[in-house]
Structure 1
Amino acid sequence: MDIEQARFYMIEQQLRPAEVLDPVTLEAVSLVRRERFVAPAQQALAFADVALPLPGGRKMLTPTVAGRLLQAAAPKRGENVLLIGTGSGYLAALLAVHAASVRVVEADPVLVSLSRANLAHAGVANVTVEEADGLQGDAAHGPYDLIVASGAVREVPAAWLAQLKPGGRLLACVGSAPVLSVRLYTPAGGSRALFETSVDALRTPAAAFAF
């Protein structure tokens, strides 16, 4: 497989038709080596628009979903970002291209270890992954300019909104399957719908908001 050609086709034939057109977003997708976040046995599908399996029954975000989330989040240089749920570490790496730092909280210790290894292998130095209950956020290191939830919740926990800086923003997938809406929130709790998608429910020790 020609890796660079596959990456090019992923951008041109998957992301652009899905209206991922922001040049900064596409730059990040070009720079982050997605194949380093995919298991060796799955390398042939590294750039396919499918949700590849992860340990514990989880799934990696498809390239299209990851690209749309990154475009909507729009991390800026100098910003501190909190990511709820790590998956393979790929979305954290995308956010880290332009953010100053990314902290990730993940309840599954297996995914914590996996994403740490993937990020190290990819040479991503400005991401920290910690095992913690994602519903609680990470108040000890906040407030944050941007919070992104990579898993779906029925409603946004108040703790996340409380950990935003004034003028900050929160991106979360909210609702009940099969109707899940990615919404952008302000610290005061106002929100607007951006697009509909399908992602795993957020895995957390506290099940109050989980599916």
Structure 2
Amino acid sequence: MVTQQIRSWDVTNKKILESMLSIHREEFVPTQQRKLAFADIALPLGHQVYMMKPVVEGRMLQAIDLQANETVLEIGTGSGYVTGLMAKLCQHVTSIDLHEDLIQSAQNKLQEAHIDNTALEVADFFDYEPGKQFDAIVITGSLKALPKHVFSWLKPDGRVFAIVGQDPIMEARVYTAADEYSSHFDTLVTPLQQAKQHQPFLL
């Protein structure tokens, strides 16, 4: 997978390639999907959540360019595979997801892979207060626009990876401020989910 797909799509960062070789992607894929672990498709995880294509994962990590001394906030834990990759590249990863079963599964997989510099939490990005700042924020679902309050979660000189737009046009960007970003590649991923608001009963 790494040789045939990731490198051929201009992912050349040696640290990223090594992390993708060291973590077995098939171990993070649902059992019934394991034969497709290295296919160039997004794999369903349940809850209308999908595991990104391997190429998108690699290009995303190359765009955000994590350093060994950095802390990261991941929005959308999913399978936990990207969480594990980032944990190999940086000091610590905090990761949140709406779905408790995905968090538990990801936690188990990370423990099995002996990755312990992570903290996973069930939370809604749209109503989240981290209580601290990070060097980088990585958002794994697409957004129509990046909320400005995200930048209060960043340390000085921090950055945010986000995929912005709507089907059929989405752009992977790295933001350094609300109106300052670099464009890296075009792709399509499912929108970031928001917890459903309970509607009052009408009498």
TM-score, normalization: structure 1? 0.88
1:29-71 C-alpha deviation (Å, 9 max, x unpaired):
1111111101222221111222111021221111111111111
Q: Is it true that 1:108 corresponds to 2:99 in the alignment?
A: yes
TM-superposed CA distance for 1:139, in Å, is 2.7
Amino acid of the structure 1 residue aligned with 2:183: A
Report the Cα distance in structure 2 between the residues aligned to 1:206 and 1:163, rounded to whole angstroms: 24
* Aligned amino acid, residue 33 of structure 1: H
After superposing the two structures, state which structure 1 stretch, 109-118 or 196-205, moved more.
Answer: 109-118
For 1:45, the aligned partner's letter is L
Q: In 1, distance between residues paired with 2:183 and 2:44? A: 28
Structure 2 length-normalised TM: 0.91
Equivalent residues, number: 197
The one-letter code sitting in structure 2 at the alignment partner of 1:143 is Q
One-letter amino acid of the structure 2 residue matched with residue 78 of structure 1: N
CA distance in 2, matches of 1:174, 1:189: 13
Alignment partner, residue 150 of structure 2: 160
Task: Please say if residues 148 and 178 of structure 2, whose CA atoms lie closer than 8 Å, have aligned partners that are also in contact.
Answer: no
Cα separation, 2, equivalents of 1:56 and 1:206: 13
Q: Which has the higher strand share?
A: 2
- Report whether the alignment pairs 1:195 with 2:185: yes
Choose which of 119, 132, 156 in structure 2 pairs with 1:128. Answer: 119
Q: 1:183 to 1:30 in 2, by over 3 A?
A: same
| SS of structure 2 residue aligned to 1:139 | coil
Aligned partner of 1:82 in structure 2 is 73
Q: 1:5 corresponds to which residue?
A: none
Aligned to 1:205: 195
Structure 1's consecutive aligned runs of 4 or more residues displaced over 6 angstroms after TM superposition are: none
Q: Give the gaps of 5 or more residues in structure 2.
A: 198-203
Cα shift at 1:138: 4.2
Distance 1:158 1:114 in 2: 31
List runs of 5+ in structure 1 lacking aligned partners. 1-9
1:26 alignment partner, one of 8, 13, 17: 17
Contact 1:137 1:159 in 2 (8 A): no
